[in-house]
Chains A and B, each alone.
Chain A
Amino acid sequence: MDYPKQIRSIHQIEITSRCNLACPYCVSKDLKRDKMDMSIATYLQALTWVNQFVSQGTQKELNLAGIGESTIHPRFVEYVSLARKMLGSSIKLVIASNGLAITEELAKALHPYNLRIYISMHRPEKSGPAIEILKKYKLLDGYSIDPSLSAIDWAGQVDWFTSCEFTPCPFLVNGQVMVMADGRITTCCLDGSGIGAIGDIRQDVESLKLQPYELCKTCHHIH
């Protein structure tokens, strides 16, 4: 594969790097960058670039989660509504959530924006009721218990193991990036320290280039 590579989409916007769990198999508990909520200015800037990629036909889906639990952002519903309003009805908006903060009230508020929510079952007793609520409001995208059945060790960043299939890195293959909560753009969704940062959302994103970085050496993905 030829590197450096052109960016074709902003696959993920990490609207918060905080989490309400501290799972031993997750990089979140020892994140080596700020645990913070993304500011509205940074978020709008990121959406502007997403809009650009949607217009040029290279982006069809946006994930509003990174390393953190998006539903605990104090302006979560507002951020989702902004994405829907700015990007239109054809883009698929998704998050993965542990479900702890998902209430009937939240689901009702999200319903108009057709956010698809994928439940990661870290706490089954919380995931279950969340799944039921999301089914009711037609927001459920799916659920899994990946740390047990399709595990990764976050490219060696956590003391866990790898049992998932070894597949090509979708970020490098597709020219995807993630915007971290502080506004920096990083090469992939596993970056717990920011060493894969290639720029900032306030820059000309289209001029930034992607290539394999430090974590790729220890990652389960093929590049």
Chain B
Amino acid sequence: MSSYPLRSIKQIELTSRCNLRCVYCPSPDMKREKKDIDLDTFLGAMEWVKYFKNKGTQGELSLTGIGEPLLHPHFVEFLLIARAILPIETIVFATNGLLLTETLCQDMAHIRPQIYVSIHRPELATKGIEAAKRYGLLAGVNTAFVHSAMNWAGQVDWYNSAPACTCEFLRSGWGVVLSDGSITTCCMDTEGAGIIGQVKDTPGGLEMKPYSLCQSCYQTIPEEAMACP
């Protein structure tokens, strides 16, 4: 059995709440607690980020999980904390754009997040896209859930049309911090079935492994982890 060492915190789920209920998303039926990450937990996650940054394996950080990050009441403050720890690294987040206002973009401009807008509701996402563009924050838009779609490893009644590929979470050792402070194996873990640790523990020493969702996922398990840099 191959080993897949955890090498970075790829995503921190700022909230597991959402303001939409899309049919192709596991969020509406999620049984895991819907909550905002608290400051202590976020700082705990950033300790892990610092640990991996010092090891030279951190890479880009996303402030998104299964939930709409802009619903977090202290989103901009948490983004500032992340920027303080990762001054030059790429910090991204994905949003449905509903709360992406001109004022918010103005407030975020100096923190330089790269924003991806998923267009689930074109009539509600578009003003946010335009605002993000004006402040140089728009990194891209996403409609892949329609034309390069997946069924969340069988968790939703939708179709897979995305081309099969190797799971980059296992291959590159990307961990995801859930809003309750658990560290899990991939971005599709709606119910926390792939949890391998907690951010409150001392950083380091965690191994990832394929878990239940991998069996029904359109992505394939890599034969081995990427060679250490």
Contacts and interface: CB of A to CB of B under 8 A. Distances in A.
Given A125-B22, A148-B119, A149-B141, A131 B146 contact: yes
Contacts of B43: none
Contact of A125 (B24, B125, B147): B24
A173 interface: no
Given A122-B122, A125-B23, A132 B161 contact: yes
A128 B158 contact: yes
Contacts of A148: 119, 122, 125-126, 129, 141
Contact of A163 (B23, B24, B130, B143): B130
Interface in B113-154: 119-120, 122-123, 125-126, 129-130, 141, 143, 145-147, 149
Given A148-B129, A163-B130, A128 B24 contact: yes
B126 A151 contact: yes
A173 to B, nearest CB: 29
Given A125-B22, A125-B24, A128-B159, A147 B147 contact: no
A143 interface: yes
Interface in B53-92: none
A132 B159 contact: yes
Interface string A120-164: 011011011101100000000001010111010000000001010
B126 A147 contact: yes
Nearest to B133: A163
- Contact residues on B (Cβ < 8 Å of other chain), bracket: 20 to 34
Contact of A124 (B120, B129, B161): B120
Contacts of B146: 121, 124, 127-128, 131, 143
B122 A131 contact: no
Interface string B180-195: 0000000000000000
Given A125-B23, A149-B141, A143 B126 contact: no
A25 interface: yes
A145 B143 contact: yes
Q: Which of A121, A124, A131 has the most CB of B within 10 A?
A: A124
Closest A-B pairs by Cβ, 3 of them? A128-B146, A148-B126, A148-B122
Interface of A: 23-25, 121-122, 124-125, 127-129, 131-132, 143, 145, 147-149, 151, 161, 163
26 contacts: A23-B122, A23-B123, A24-B123, A121-B122, A124-B119, A124-B120, A124-B143, A124-B146, A125-B22, A125-B23, A125-B24, A127-B146, A128-B145, A128-B146, A128-B159, A129-B159, A131-B146, A131-B147, A132-B161, A145-B119, A145-B122, A145-B143, A147-B123, A148-B119, A148-B126, A148-B129
